[in-house]
Amino acid sequence: MSWLAPGLTGLLACGLGGAVAPYLIGRLPEPPPDPEPEEGVELTAAQQARLAEPPKELYADLGRRSWVLPVAVMVSAVAGGLLGGELGWDWLLGVAWPLVPVGAALGIIDWRTRLLPAIVVLPATLLALLYGLGRWLLTGDHEDLLRGVIAMLVVRTVFWLLWFVRQAGMGFGDVRLSALLGLVLGYAGWGEVVIGVYAAFLCFGVPGLALAVARRDLGLLKRAYPFGPFLLLGALVGLVVGAPVVDALYG
């Protein structure tokens, strides 16, 4: 029953943190409008798809949606409870738990607007990096910090390449988010990094393929879907089941 206390603590603490998500979302500055295309300039497929989309939902309006509060609280509580129950009283909870409500807010934002605001992702990445640096200075153990930084650079590079060649249909916000999640997964271990990234693509691809097959409409596979929520879900899967899977495979 050693998992019970940290599990319940994570459930309560992150659930309460999730209640802040509507406030955070509603007060984000709106991004500048996309520039009008120049006359006679041929647009890329990505630019054409972007122009065909309906206007972005305002953050202020999204923050006032009645469903945002219960969804953010529920998602944050479940994620926090799972992390606490699996990791126990581990130092990693000090960075994972505060990021849970932030991740819930980012998932909601991306799902509705297909944007991941840098004003949220970049400070969260910096704080996660400072947390690892602070632990190194306090304990003298640099192994976790070094692994986290390397994982952050590797994962971000992979996602940058996917964004650059436009093969994954992702935006640059996904690249920024991948750096944050790669850092936290790297703190946990290499097994967590591999499983977390793999789970993100699996969670993203399998439901869409199943839906396309069920509806007999392969055109569904060509539609653009937000990747951020699946990145966040994959990271949670990596942190929760990464260590047990690695132990089962190599233990």
Is the pLDDT at 88 greater than 50? The verdict is: yes
Residues with Cβ within 8 Å of residue 120, at least 6 apart in sequence: 24, 28, 102, 105, 106
CA dihedral 10, 207, 221, 35 (to 10 degrees): -20
Chain segment 133-168, per-residue pLDDT in tens: 999 999 988 999 999 999 999 999 999 998 888 655
Torsions phi, psi for 65 (to 5 deg): -60, 135
How many C-beta neighbours within 10 Å does residue 24 have? 20
% of residues, the chain, pLDDT over 70 = 81
Note whether 95 and 132 are within 8 A (CB). Answer: yes
Is the pLDDT at 107 greater than 60? The verdict is: yes
Q: How many separate domains does the chain show? A: 1
Q: Which domain holds residue 176?
A: 4-250
How far is Cα 183 from Cα 29, in angstroms, rounded to an integer? 26
How many C-beta neighbours within 10 Å does residue 191 have? 19
The stretch 177-196 carries a mean pLDDT of 96
How far is Cα 164 from Cα 158, in angstroms, rounded to an integer? 10
How far is Cα 9 from Cα 93, in angstroms, rounded to an integer? 11
DSSP, collapsed to helix, strand or coil, labels residue 72 as helix
How far is Cα 186 from Cα 235, in angstroms, rounded to an integer? 11
CA 184 centroid distance within chain: 11
How far is Cα 155 from Cα 194, in angstroms, rounded to an integer? 9
Note whether 200 and 180 are within 8 A (CB). Answer: no
The stretch 65-91 carries a mean pLDDT of 96
The predicted pLDDT at position 242 comes to: 85
Distances (CA, A) of 90 to 17, 62, 85: 19, 35, 10
Rg (CA), the chain: 19
Note whether 208 and 151 are within 8 A (CB). Answer: no
Average pLDDT, the chain: 86
How far is Cα 155 from Cα 169, in angstroms, rounded to an integer? 17
Joined tokens for residue 168: 């994954």
pTM, two decimal places: 0.88
Higher pLDDT pick, 179 / 214: 179
Distances (CA, A) of 48 to 117, 168, 170, 214, 227: 22, 17, 15, 28, 19
